[in-house]
Amino acid sequence: MLEALRDVGYESPSPIQEQAIPALLTGSDMIGQAQTGSGKTAAFGLPLMEYVDPDDRDVQALVLTPTRELCIQVTQALRSYGARKGIDVVAVFGGAPIRSQQAQLRAGGQIVVGTVGRVKDLISRHSLMLHATRFVVLDEADEMLDLGFLEDVEKILALTPGSRQTALFSATMPPEIRKLSEKYLYNPVHVKVRAATLTVDTVEQFSLEVPQREKNDMLGRVLESEKPDQAIVFVRTKIRADQLYRTLRDRGMNVKALHGDMSQGSRDGVMLSFKSGRLPILVATDVAARGLDISSVTHVVNFDVPTSPDVYVHRIGRTGRVGRSGRAITFYDSKQKREIEAIERHTRTPMAPWTEGARVGTLKVEVKPKRHETKPHDVAPVAPTNGDTPAVVAAAPINDGARTRLVVAGGLAQGIEPKDLIHAIKTAAGIDGEAVRNIRVLEQFTFLDVPSASAEHVVEQVTGTEVDGHKLRLEAIRA
């Protein structure tokens, strides 16, 4: 395991890892409160790897996630932790053929990472057996609650051995999650990393008093004045998200909504557009934005006052990432002054009054094309890496045949940048750099698209090449 940690470049634990790993190694159940980007996957993943037996082909650990994207992210991280030990990690999620996932389960898999619906489906088909499952992790349990998955989570938990060790991770702890933990966790250790200490130092915080009837107009003025690179506008309800999206769209802004009533495919499309940098403004409910871990978000606007100071801290944690500064602006009316004061006490940081024109930015809000205009090429900007300027993948025709998504073991933590990957693929596989698209560099791994006809060749030729001393490993995400 120490060799695996060196492989992924870990040198010292994050706060959540420092507290959670010893507790889980003793066999205790655990409740972990930490925001996205705090290192919680390693917090539960490393203890799992320590105890899973690679010679036992039964499913020994189950990690439940609310979304496909999180499922893929967790799977890749766990595979990197367990690579030297020979532990097989299988991902199961909706939107992909169930037969291929059934075949992977028949072939083995000591750890299964899955979305709630697909796990339940595979259990009902007798393809996923949990009789030997000693460890269960519920990742981002509050999002499972908001997406309506909690009843199915309970049905799955009821099929696992009573002697299992259970870890529950959740950014917030609503009453329903507390009840779930009381019912299914035994004397759990409670680990909490205060999000305020992780975010407020890098986020400038402002408040803006505005009557309810004037909020829509004021939001337009704020966005035009601030000129964000990328902004998330938080609202309390799904209906408000749709209404505000239409208002901003009608003003000519490039904007999308993200909320739980959208289909999974629609949500994935919006999130990928935002993460790739093509979408500058996102109107979102709290639960929908839970999985967004993007270093390029420059602004958070709380159109509706958060329901609690913890939710506020979680929201503003979407900006000020990777050493960059961010700006958070919170709207409130005269009846909500006490809520603003409670937030200020919680964060120990006063909000400055926001004034129009106080900040002159260099990046303008993008205006989307008129409805009947078409763009001949799809230029896909990628999320900024450790530099100040986002790299841009060269334009390529939209309809250029089937494409395959690849995942690369290595990301921001290894100093990898999009241009490094394009150069490596071009040099080792002889693929034109323009054919590599939709690059997303995350903390420990990277996603990119290549033509399907070249995917296998790229994986074979580029795996093993080095970038800045880091040896690349590529793998295709099979549909």
DSSP string for residues in 365-397: PPBPPPTT---SEEEEE----SSSS--EEEEEE
- pLDDT score for 364: 29
pLDDT mean by block of 10 residues, the chain; 479 residues: 81 86 93 77 93 92 89 88 91 89 91 94 94 94 84 94 93 88 93 58 85 92 91 90 92 88 80 85 79 75 86 79 75 90 82 72 30 30 31 30 82 79 86 78 78 89 85 77
pTM beyond 0.85: no
Answer whether 173's CB lies under 8 Å from 140's CB.
no
| Amino acid, single-letter form, for residue 238 | K
The CATH number of 196-353, from 3.30.9.100, 3.40.50.300, 3.40.640.10, 3.30.930.10, is 3.40.50.300
Q: Identify the pLDDT of residue 289.
A: 65
Q: What is the CATH number of domain 377-476?
A: 3.30.70.330
Q: Give the tokens for residue 64.
A: 């439940």
Q: At the fourth CATH level, which superfamily is domain 11-193?
A: P-loop containing nucleotide triphosphate hydrolases (3.40.50.300)
Query: Would the CATH topology of 11-193 be identical to that of 196-353?
Result: yes
Domain ranges of the chain: 11-193, 196-353, 377-476
Q: What would the two tokens of residue 153 be?
A: 């989570």
Bridge-partner residues for 136, per DSSP?
62, 166
Provide the pLDDT for residue 401.
62
For residue 395, the model assigns a pLDDT of 26
Tokens of 263: 């289909």
- At position 135, the amino acid (one-letter code) is F
Closest residue by Cα to residue 459 from 442, 474, 443: 474
Residue 119: phi and psi, rounded to 5, are -60, -45
